[in-house]
Amino acid sequence: MENAQLLLFIAATFLLAGFVKGVIGLGLPTIAVGILGVVMAPAQAAALLVVPNLITNGWQIATGPGLKAILARLWPMLAGIGAGTWAGVGLLEQQKDGSATLWLGIALVLYALVGLKAAKLRVPAAAEGWLGPLIGIATGIATAATGVFVLPAVPYLQALGLDKDELVQALGVSFIVSTLALSVGLLGTGALNPSVAGHSALALLPALAGMAAGTVIRNRISAGAFKLCFFAGLLALGSYLVLRAAG
């Protein structure tokens, strides 16, 4: 692929990924890593995502209702994410057969189907203290292996009973911690360097444009419609990962 075509391909990928993130609060790394994997290694795609992930999730956090309360409630999980990601440093570069992505996609599909059937998963408040760190560590290891931050953090957060805006803000907090932890690992393996960081900054523009458009839609839909979009989006993301890994 020629340079001009590659740039257009990357820009279109981030525009689409940003739009999905704007609507349902997640999907930027899932879509971008999946599509960019056609033209580059997973570790390269993950490195290209660093700046867009940091800024879009920062925006998502800033526009939420109550950051202090979210941090107070989620810090055990967030600490686990950091520990799990650093423990799994190097797994992304070792992934050759796509098996981690395949299982991630299957788990997403199953969770989305449960959600679309209106089954309500709930985490008792008393369990958050011990379950949060375990969820965080598992999410961190999955992040280190796939470059995608969704499992099992997203089902856990959704099961906390947060409202639409609280959930989107909590997702942003979780994803920005995952991005920072993964960035440290990518720096250590050499996948993230000043040149890649510059290219990552350029990818921010289409990601922000897409996210702005998606946010407008999210602000105009009801809580019920958001829930439907949320699980349908997870189903689409999971199906895409399964098809890509299997192909």
pLDDT digits (tens, 9 = 90+) for 148-179: 888 899 999 999 999 989 999 999 999 999 99
pLDDT for 133 equals 97
Which whole number is the average pLDDT over 86-109?
A: 75
Which tens digits make up the pLDDT trace of 179-236? Answer: 999 888 888 877 788 888 888 999 999 999 999 999 999 999 998 899 899 899 889 8
Q: Is residue 137 over pLDDT 90?
A: yes
pLDDT for 246 equals 79
pLDDT for 95 equals 59
pLDDT for 19 equals 95
pLDDT for 151 equals 86
Number of domains in the chain: 1
Range of the domain at 59: 3-246
Which whole number is the average pLDDT over 84-113?
A: 78
d(C-alpha 247, C-alpha 241), whole Å: 10
Which whole number is the average pLDDT over 113-130?
A: 86
pLDDT for 116 equals 85
Greater confidence (35 vs 56) lies with 56
96 band by pLDDT with thresholds 50, 70 and 90: low
Greater confidence (90 vs 13) lies with 13
pLDDT for 187 equals 85
Greater confidence (88 vs 90) lies with 88
Closest CA to 245 of 135, 142, 104, 126: 104
Q: Is residue 144 over pLDDT 70?
A: yes
